[in-house]
Amino acid sequence: MSTNNAMMKESWTLPNMALAACTLLMLLTSASTLITSHGDNQSTALMIFSTLSMVGIAVLHSVRHLGIKSALMYFGIIVVIELIFEQVNIWSAGKVFGELTYPDNYFGPKILDIPIAVPLAMCAINWPTYVLVNIILFRRVVITSKNMGVIAAIVHCAILATLHTAWSYCAEPMALANGILHRPTIGDNSGLTHWGVPWVEFRGWWLMTFLQFLVFSFVLARVFKLPAEKPFSPILESAPLVMYGGIALLLLMNPVNQALAIGTIFTMLAYVSLGFFRL
């Protein structure tokens, strides 16, 4: 009984209630998209609320399990590695992701040639992918190289990067079609692209996220002491899955074409369904 009371007390702290509120907001915006969009782009208001809920879920849930200090270092790893890969891509004329520009009307201030919003967006989608994979494989939230052998930990990072790349596979064509991204050397959709997105993009995305997860698992988790593992709460741990699934539903309801909608079903929606099953 005392264990149940402790878990109940832990569940109703202010940060956890804020996490639950962000999750509810994500559910409401996803439901609204399903009901009202019918293939049209999401309204500006829905986009704002959806973005706020995404950021809130990523920050609050990561702080719940890593603590403020480790969560900041986790996101710092993501930001630094993302900026390096993006800047090298600019300097190398597209050797990492293919030639790519970010229109000024969609993005704000920059660090060198990279909008600050780009690595921040990566932070918002990185943590839900990390949690989703760990729930599917282990029914736990935080798993690092300290919990397994070296080879298994490397394979774990490779799986994380593969499921993370599903975001790019599903979302990049839509971003390109809506003018959020611009690829100056890509004309019409040819056999060398995935609906306008060159295949080098997915290689670069996979390598970048693999390195992010590898540094977290083998460096941050070993050099710095992570907080004690929190009790597994299916309701609270569902928050990153709701976010991942909400974005997948948005991509399904507003696809570039039917083929990409089908691809979303068999990638992002399939993965998040496994995660909910494991809860």
pLDDT, tens digit (0-9, with 9 covering 90-100), for 93-108: 888 888 887 777 666 7
**Given this model, what pLDDT does residue 66 score?**
93
What is the Cβ-side half-sphere exposure of residue 158, based on CA atoms within 13 angstroms? 6
pLDDT at residue 185 in the model: 62
Count of Cβ atoms closer than 10 Å to residue 262 Cβ: 12
- Fill in the DSSP letter of residue 265: I
Helix (H, G, I), strand (E, B) or coil at 197: strand
pLDDT, greater one: 7 or 148? 148
Residue 180, Cβ neighbours under 10 Å: how many?
15
182 secondary structure, DSSP code: B
Which residues are bridge partners to 194 per DSSP?
Answer: 197
Quickly state the pLDDT bin for 73 (edges 50, 70, 90).
Answer: very high
Per the structure, how many domains does the chain have? 1
Pairing of strands 114-115, 110-111: antiparallel
pLDDT at 188 over 50: no
Mean pLDDT, rounded, for 171-177: 76
What does the pLDDT read at residue 126? 92
Instruction: Read off the pLDDT of residues 224-267 as tens digits, 9 standing for 90 and up.
Output: 888 888 888 888 898 899 888 888 887 777 777 777 788 888 88
Write out the two tokens for 193: 């692209």
- Number of residues assigned to the chain: 279
Higher pLDDT, 52 or 45: 52
Domain coverage including residue 190: 2-278
Above 60 in pLDDT, residue 60? yes
Unique residue bearing structure tokens 């709701």: 242
Structure confidence at residue 42 (pLDDT): 53
Q: pTM of the entire structure?
A: 0.85
| Tokens (6 digits) for 48 | 């704002």
Partner residues linked to 198 by β-bridges: 193
The predicted structure's pLDDT at residue 129? 94
Q: Taking Cα atoms as reference points, which of 181, 242, 250 lies closest to residue 42?
A: 250
Query: Cα–Cα distance between 223 and 213 in angstroms, integer?
Result: 15
| Continuous segment of H or E residues that includes residue 194 | strand 193-194
Tell me what pLDDT residue 121 has. Answer: 81
**Which pLDDT score, from 0 to 100, does residue 192 have?**
62
More confident residue, 183 or 158: 158
Highest mean pLDDT among 8-12, 69-73, 240-244: 69-73
Tell me which amino acid residue 248 is. Answer: A
Return the DSSP state at 140.
-
pLDDT score for 41: 53
**Euclidean distance between CA atoms 84 and 19, whole angstroms:** 31
In degrees and rounded to multiples of 5, residue 39 shows phi and psi of 95, -10
Q: Do residues 79 and 119 make contact, with C-beta atoms less than 8 angstroms apart?
A: yes
Q: How far apart are CA 150 and CA 180, in angstroms?
A: 39
pLDDT recorded at residue 1 = 39
Torsion sign across C-alpha atoms 9, 14, 18, 21: positive
Q: What is the pLDDT of residues 18-43, one digit of tens each?
A: 888 888 888 887 777 666 655 455 55
Classify 111 in phi/psi space as left (phi over 0), alpha (psi -120 to 50) or beta.
beta
Measured in whole angstroms, the distance separating CA 42 from the mean position of its chain's CA atoms is 19
To the nearest whole percent, how much of the chain has pLDDT over 90? 34
Q: What is the DSSP letter of 178?
A: T
In the prediction, which pLDDT does 35 show? 67
